[in-house]
Structure 1
Amino acid sequence: MFRRIRTNRRNAISINCALVSEDYGEKTVAITPAHAMSRICSAESDPDEVTIDVPARTLTSILDEVNPPQVDLLSLDVDGFEYEVLRGLDLDRWKPGLIIVECLTEESRAVIHGILSCAYDMIAQPTFRDYVYRARSIA
């Protein structure tokens, strides 16, 4: 899939990695190479299933490397790993103007809201799983 992205989006900055929290502790993440439906392998995964290791990186490390002037919109839909991805984002250094986040359960919604509510207001719920947060202005 990564090769297709690089081919089809030649002018884009493409980074092949798995987004993790700041305290993940490993250098790679094992995933199944199933195109858009790739998934992280667990201890209970089929031992005969083909897996690949991809580099584990925080969102902060990627933003530090790319160094955009600002981040206007962050859209997170990582099938239940939104909390871990947000824990890998330093919101003091990189504060997106808007964050759209998918929350698969009420529990994940509460956890995500807890992380973001210190600097963001939830302004919309366009679907039953997606929430839109807007950064509060610094006045």
Structure 2
Amino acid sequence: MKKILKYSALYFAIVFTIGFVLGTIRVLYVAPQLGDDQAELLEFPLMVLASFVVARYIVGLAGDGLKPAQLLWVGVMALGCLLMVEFSLVLALREMSIVTYVTSRYSLAGAAYLVSLLLFAVFPFVISIWGKPNK
């Protein structure tokens, strides 16, 4: 359990940091030019790629120390951390209520965001299965 917590915290921290930097660029520079939805859609593939690359790093770091089911927990727990921070810190910084935040997700960009969250959660598991050679 200690390893799962360690790797999920690391996975969350790295991806959140990347997302925070990209989100700042999006909000300050891209969204005023293109609009919020288009800016989020541009950020989507970058965040999915970042999640994938970091998940590969985490799976490699864990080596054979964690089984695929445990790596699924790494992703799920990292997602839990991400959502807790999103619903507290990010909403406070953007001065949004939870209701405003949820209703702002009823769009193509919102659907893309939900897909990115799902992928973020399952990437460690999928990579652990996909990356193993057949025996």
TM-score using structure 1 length: 0.26
TM-score by length of 2: 0.26
User: Which structure has the higher relative contact order (CA within 8 Å, separation 6+)?
Assistant: 2
